[in-house]
């Protein structure tokens, strides 16, 4: 498989993994969670997050389903299993999720005593943002403003 540098040539294995990840996104419960996350998850503080997604709630389950799915995908990028640049061309939802959780993440990490909570998502997003800024200056900033409101 391709290396993490983003300059390695993508392989058929990379393509197959991206297609498998896409198929997983189409699973009914994950699709429902993604729809909820896109439309409803706009917490800017840990307190807003707790109010929106109390433990044991359907909203909490949807939140966890979305962020753990994208954390898994991000781990493929950060470990070098998946060609970054190939993914970046169609995987913008990863950045969407990052934009929605980045404000609350420091407090989530503190409360959970887990400094690596969503660390792959954070690192993959940083690399993706860097790539996007190099390939299309200004596009990421415009995207971030749309997503963050």
Instruction: Report whether pLDDT(1) > 60.
Output: no
Q: Band of the pLDDT at 7, cuts 50, 70, 90?
A: low
pLDDT of residue 5: 43
Three-state SS annotation for 56-102: CCHHHHHHHHHHHHHHHHHHHHHCCCCCHHHHHCCCHHHHHHHHHHC
Through-space distance between the first and last CA atoms of the chain, rounded to whole angstroms = 37
% of the chain residues with pLDDT over 90: 93
Instruction: Report whether pLDDT(17) > 70.
Output: yes
How far is it, in rounded angstroms, from Cα 57 to Cα 115? Answer: 24
49-88: per-residue pLDDT in tens? 999 999 999 999 999 999 999 999 999 999 999 999 999 9
% of the chain residues with pLDDT over 70: 95
Instruction: Please state, rounded to an integer, the average pLDDT across all residues of the chain.
Output: 94
pLDDT of residue 33: 98
The CA-based angle 126-127-132, given to 5 degrees, is 100
């Amino acid at each position: 498989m391709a290396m993490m540098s983003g300059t390695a040539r993508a392989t058929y294995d990379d393509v197959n993994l991206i297609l498998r990840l896409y198929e997983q996104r189409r699973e009914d419960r994950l699709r429902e969670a993604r729809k909820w996350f896109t439309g409803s998850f706009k917490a800017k503080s840990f307190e807003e997050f707790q109010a929106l997604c109390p433990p044991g709630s359907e909203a909490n389950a949807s939140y966890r389903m979305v962020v753990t799915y994208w954390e898994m995908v991000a781990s493929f990028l950060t470990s070098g299993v998946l060609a970054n640049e190939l993914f970046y061309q169609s995987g913008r939802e990863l950045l969407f999720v990052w934009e929605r959780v980045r404000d609350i993440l420091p407090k989530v990490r503190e409360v959970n005593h887990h400094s690596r909570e969503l660390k792959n998502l954070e690192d993959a997003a940083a690399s993706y943002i860097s790539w996007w800024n190099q390939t299309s200056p200004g596009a990421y900033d415009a995207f971030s403003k749309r997503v963050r409101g």
